[in-house]
Structure 1
Amino acid sequence: MQGLKKIVGLVFCVVILAGKVFGQDEEASKMEWFGEAKLGIFLHWGIYSVNGIDESWSFFNDYISYDDYMKQLDGFTAANYDPEKWAKLIKSSGAKYAVLTAKHHDGVALWDSKVSDLTVVKKTPAGRDLVGPFMKALEKEGIKKGIYYSVLDWSHPDYDRKTRTEYRYKDDPERFQKFVDFNFKQLEELSLNCQPDLYWFDGDWEHKAEEWKSKQLKEQLLAWNPNLIINSRIGGGLGDYDTPEQGVPVTRPHSKYWELCLTMNNSWGYQHNDHAYKSPGELLRVFVDCLHMGGNLLLDMGPKPDGSIPEEAVDILKEFGRWTSKHASAVYETQAGIPAGHVFAPTTLSKDKKILYIYLDYKVNESLVIKGLKNMINRIWVVGNGTKLKHREVGKMYWSQVPGLKYIDIPDNVYDKDITVLAVLLDGEIDLYREKGQVIESN
């Protein structure tokens, strides 16, 4: 009898372990496209583009009255909205996914929500669904579909908060539950009608995950689409990836999957007075930093109230397209690079760790040096250019395990106008010397 119990217990443990392994494999498979996407485009589009003011925060922070903010509904026309053109532009940039603000904190829905009157269909001259057509256009171009949704809603009559200093009510769980039910219904509409690949939630900071019913929400969303990816702002640590904002990380975030969301200028939505667009070169440097640390860049732009894209944003996306298409092998299907100090430039590695990619946004003085590389170098070439480069090793002592300095000569005529990429093919998986060095004991 005891032997039977042991066998049953062993079988139970094997089943549990297999389930865990299967679950981990399933999760890794689901996240695979995200890890390989590298570049996404964020689109903040809403009535705030009419006056060119901060989305939702304008009235929340009392910069403008709520009534004056909502007067922008009358000027939101979407007259030149061309979702197919949007999708083609995004694809040309090299981006593999896009995220549209279906509803920001102001509560204005960009689709024909059946549970709200505050929609662009019912309240603006646009008069039609703006989410569904874009999702279809993205799918047609082979781009993963992302929807931004704010879980808080400063306009909804059952949400507790109105502005930074005003509340509709406090400590009324029953009324707040009515609002949470509203969220679930709107997300059901979006999930069933648009079938997004990714939800980009926002606004979870005003309540606890238990109040948002975050666990139940995630379960319901996955019931509609088991392969759905959800960002970290759903609350309760339930997200699939982290979303640092604006500030470029200096060291790699702890999460295996992450993206930096960054504006092209200083504003999320379209602001006609904000001309402080970063140059394509500056944004590409940020992009390369994300690649180096194993993350994605979600680059934001704000369409105008008529649905047209600002020329500055179009130019930036075209430049991204030029660079990503030229250097595709050093962008997609790469992983985080080697630690800082081995080479004075960001790096990535191929999936098999046998190619070291080096990204240079400057011209080196004489030669580029790689330190602490134990491997033999088979060959080096300029990505997108094809030129093979010469290299040599200096300072290797026969008695020491410390590798010599590998120098790479780079002629002036191979440099890219923004960022030059070198591919270093090694004799095997990369092997770095990370010890303190050696002292001669016998000679």
Structure 2
Amino acid sequence: MKKSHLLIAGLLLSSPVFAQKNYLEEPKSAKTQRMQWWHDDTFGMFIHWGLYAVPAGTYNGKDGGAEWIMETHKIPTPEYEKYAAQFNPVKFDAKKWLSIAKDAGAKYIVFTSKHHDGFSMWDSQVTNYDIMDATPFKRDIIKELADACKAAGIKFGLYHSIMDWHHPNANPKLKPAEKPDFAKYRETYLKPQLAELIKKYNPDILWFDGEWISEWTEDQGKDLYNYLRALKPSLVINNRISKARGGMEGMNKYENAAGDFGTPEQEILKTNSQDYWESCMTINNNWGFVKNDQNWKSGETLINNLVDVAAKGGNYLLNVGPTAEGEIPAPSVERLAEMGKWLKLNKQAIYGTNSLTNYKEGDHIRFTQSKDGKTTYAIFNQQDNNELKLSTIQPKVGSKIYMLGVKEPLAWSNTNGTVVVKLPATLPGQYAWVLKIQAENRNSR
């Protein structure tokens, strides 16, 4: 058995857990600097993968549940554990996954190190319930992904569940011989595993979930936030480490909560925000792989979502759910490739931009602004008779307006504040197009 009290004590005592610095009191300027790369990157790829890919949304002939299938069908722990013996993803190729992410234009990934089912997707020294000891695969998936990210120049993030249906001290339903002791789980299992992940794989992001359980408190979230930032001060950590998330909209219900950014789930904020935020969404209906889920969002919808998120000052974390064999489903790959093709042409309107106070005009025009404030991008997905009319943005007198993907400047006029831009007869690319404007008003957020 790997699990030992000596190892756990070593992980805890070798970490600067007794440091007096309170990272929750970080100056705004320091946080801005720490978060800058994350804000500039704008687009990331979420990856939900674990033992739940084996049943693929079906248990005993009944559909329902993906990564939640253990809870959805009330699968007993010993029975669920049997999926580990069936998990042998021989087609897994970290470099191929990162190639798909890079071709899509994703600048960072967030991978599920441990979901609610409690299974560890790395070679953990804290438990035997992990990829190396409990499956026939016996390869450290997280190490391979971390190495592939580094080689591809993509930032590496890890999702980690606070709740754990497998651990007897984290799940009262298991009725262990002794009374469940969540504090013991937190100090001798949760924290040591997180310390292990930081030390072994050096993630840039930690993305928590499962914080809604009654055993978790804001004080525990603040303690964990400081513990993790002490291990790696540059870490970016989501607000689900705290108790502040207000429903699926994901933004903080109160001030001074632990965590660096809000987490809207399966939705986009109704308007822009001065706070950091990231909208996480699926490409079909589920996070984990479900063989019967063929309800795929179109490439056009995904691109419009990305544009809307960027215009409102947020990040877009788009999920894929690989199969038990280790492949990202072809429909996901196809749609990600469409996004990558669009971004290759229009990337300067998305990455490293800021939101404007007036971030939209009507339903079909969104605006972003370059960091230096000199350029406003008008991103539109509809136009009439090869013209685009704008009233929110006023170009500088005598300036030139360009369309990304078109070499020559476009003709434009301004009559009583209504700007009319003549568009090319044939628009480059598809789904949405971008005008590059030197605008008078620089009201970025």
Classify the TM-score, shorter chain: 0.7 to 0.9
Amino acid corresponding to residue 229 of structure 2 in structure 1:
L
Residue 259 of structure 1 deviates from its aligned partner by 0.8
Match 1:101 to one of 106, 112, 119? 112
Partner of 1:9: none
Partner of 2:382: 362
**Contact between 2:87 and 2:137, CA under 8 Å: does it hold in 1?**
yes
Q: How does 1:93-132 map to 2 (within 5 A)?
A: 93-132=104-143
Residue 74 of structure 1 deviates from its aligned partner by 2.3
Amino acid corresponding to residue 442 of structure 2 in structure 1:
I
Match 2:223 to one of 216, 228, 236? 216
Residue 168 of structure 1 deviates from its aligned partner by 5.8
Structure 2 residue 420 is the aligned partner of structure 1 residue 407: yes
Structure 2 residue 276 is the aligned partner of structure 1 residue 234: no
Distance 1:148 1:212 in 2: 21
**Contact between 1:380 and 1:425, CA under 8 Å: does it hold in 2?**
yes
> 3-state SS of the aligned residue for 1:270?
coil
Q: Is the deviation greater in 94-103 or in 70-79?
A: 70-79
Distance 1:285 1:201 in 2: 27
Partner of 2:290: 271
RMSD: 2.5
Q: How does 1:56-205 map to 2 (within 5 A)?
A: 56-62=67-73, 64-162=75-173, 175-181=181-187, 182-205=189-212
> 3-state SS of the aligned residue for 1:262?
strand
Q: How does 1:250-399 map to 2 (within 5 A)?
A: 250-252=270-272, 254=273, 256-339=275-358, 342=361, 344-365=364-385, 367-377=387-397, 378-394=399-415, 396=416
Amino acid corresponding to residue 318 of structure 2 in structure 1:
L
Question: Unpaired segments of 5 or more residues in structure 2?
Answer: 1-22, 58-64, 244-256
Structure 2 residue 43 is the aligned partner of structure 1 residue 39: yes
TM-score by length of 1: 0.84
**Contact between 2:112 and 2:159, CA under 8 Å: does it hold in 1?**
yes
Distance 1:160 1:308 in 2: 31
Distance 1:269 1:320 in 2: 21
Amino acid corresponding to residue 169 of structure 2 in structure 1:
D
Cα separation, partners in 2 of 1:169 and 1:412, compared to 1, 3 Å? farther
Distance 1:266 1:122 in 2: 32
Distance 2:219 2:117 in 1: 18
Instruction: Give the total of aligned pairs.
Output: 399
Partner of 2:253: none
Cα separation, partners in 2 of 1:126 and 1:89, compared to 1, 3 Å? same
Distance 2:316 2:101 in 1: 13
TM-score by length of 2: 0.84
Q: Is the deviation greater in 100-109 or in 347-356?
A: 347-356
Amino acid corresponding to residue 324 of structure 2 in structure 1:
P
Partner of 2:250: none
What does the per-residue CA deviation read over 1:285-341, in whole Å, with 9 as the maximum and x for residues that have no partner? 100010110111100001111212211111122112111111121111111135266
Q: Which has the larger radius of gyration?
A: 1
Cα separation, partners in 2 of 1:299 and 1:431, compared to 1, 3 Å? closer
What does the per-residue CA deviation read over 1:231-290, in whole Å, with 9 as the maximum and x for residues that have no partner? 0100152110011001222222x4521111010111101111111111111100100010
> 3-state SS of the aligned residue for 1:71?
helix
Distance 1:242 1:77 in 2: 35
Residue 362 of structure 1 deviates from its aligned partner by 2.1
Partner of 1:430: 442
**Contact between 2:218 and 2:242, CA under 8 Å: does it hold in 1?**
no
> 3-state SS of the aligned residue for 2:328?
coil
Q: Show structure 1 runs of 4+ deviating over 6 A.
A: 19-22
Q: Is the deviation greater in 49-58 or in 121-130?
A: 49-58
Cα separation, partners in 2 of 1:372 and 1:322, compared to 1, 3 Å? closer
Partner of 1:16: none
Residue 58 of structure 1 deviates from its aligned partner by 1.8
**Contact between 2:310 and 2:350, CA under 8 Å: does it hold in 1?**
yes
> 3-state SS of the aligned residue for 2:40?
helix
**Contact between 2:67 and 2:288, CA under 8 Å: does it hold in 1?**
no
Residue 89 of structure 1 deviates from its aligned partner by 1.8
Q: Is the deviation greater in 204-213 or in 37-46?
A: 204-213
Cα separation, partners in 2 of 1:85 and 1:340, compared to 1, 3 Å? closer
Cα separation, partners in 2 of 1:114 and 1:316, compared to 1, 3 Å? same
> 3-state SS of the aligned residue for 1:120?
coil
